[in-house]
């Protein structure tokens, strides 16, 4: 959250993390934080919001359980919209959304090794030297 806030404000990420005034020049850690944040944003799946290396990975050890989230503010908005609508139709319970939550069948941690393996499999095969 702090890195995102700093990037949005155009200030050094380490200034927010360390709670110091953002007057100095960007250092290596600022650039690393900015690059890491951009990587997380760029790797996010447009459908489910999880990192692509998790949700697009066909490794048999990764699974997804469906978790129900309920937002009561959204429920009120949807109830009000339904009252104003003249077309009754089936909808999911108001305020509820189903989201995927990744896990590993082996119970081991879902770590960055999976990310590296996923991107390695996507890389084109090296061209043999002649």
HSE, CB side, 13 Å, CA atoms: give it for residue 74: 9
Residue 35 included in any domain: yes
Answer whether 49's CB lies under 8 Å from 67's CB.
no
Residue 49 included in any domain: no
Residue 116 included in any domain: no
Q: Which residues pair with 67 in a beta bridge?
A: 99
DSSP-derived secondary structure for the chain: -HHHHHHHHTS-HHHHHHT--TTSPP-HHHHHHHHHHHHHHHTB-TTT-SBHHHHT---TTEEEEEEEEE-HHHHHHHHHHHHH-S-----PPTTEEEEEEEEETT-----HHHHHHHHHHHSPPPPPP-
Angle between helices 28-42 and 2-9 (to 10 degrees): 100
Give 41-74 pLDDT, tens digit per residue.
Answer: 999 999 988 999 899 888 888 999 999 988 889 8
Residue 7 included in any domain: yes
Number of domains in the chain: 1
The pLDDT value given to residue 80: 85
Give 93-115 pLDDT, tens digit per residue.
Answer: 777 788 888 888 888 888 878 78
Closest CA to 75 of 62, 89, 92: 92
Residue 95 included in any domain: no
Residue 33 included in any domain: yes
Domain span at residue 7? 1-42
For residue 7, is pLDDT > 70?
A: yes
Residue 10 included in any domain: yes
The pLDDT value given to residue 65: 93
What is the residue-averaged pLDDT of the chain?
A: 86
Residue 126 included in any domain: no
């Amino acid at each position: 959250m702090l890195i995102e806030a700093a990037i949005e404000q155009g200030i050094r990420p380490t200034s927010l993390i360390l709670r110091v005034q953002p007057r100095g020049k960007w250092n290596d850690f600022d650039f690393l934080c900015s690059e890491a944040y951009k990587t997380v944003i760029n790797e996010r799946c447009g459908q489910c919001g999880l990192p692509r290396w998790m949700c697009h990975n066909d490794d048999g050890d990764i699974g997804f359980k469906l978790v129900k989230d309920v937002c009561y503010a959204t429920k009120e908005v949807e109830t009000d919209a339904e009252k104003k609508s003249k077309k009754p139709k089936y909808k999911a319970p108001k305020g509820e959304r189903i989201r995927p939550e990744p896990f590993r069948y082996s119970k081991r941690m879902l770590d960055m090794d999976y990310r590296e393996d996923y991107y390695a499999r996507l890389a084109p095969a090296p061209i043999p030297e002649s």
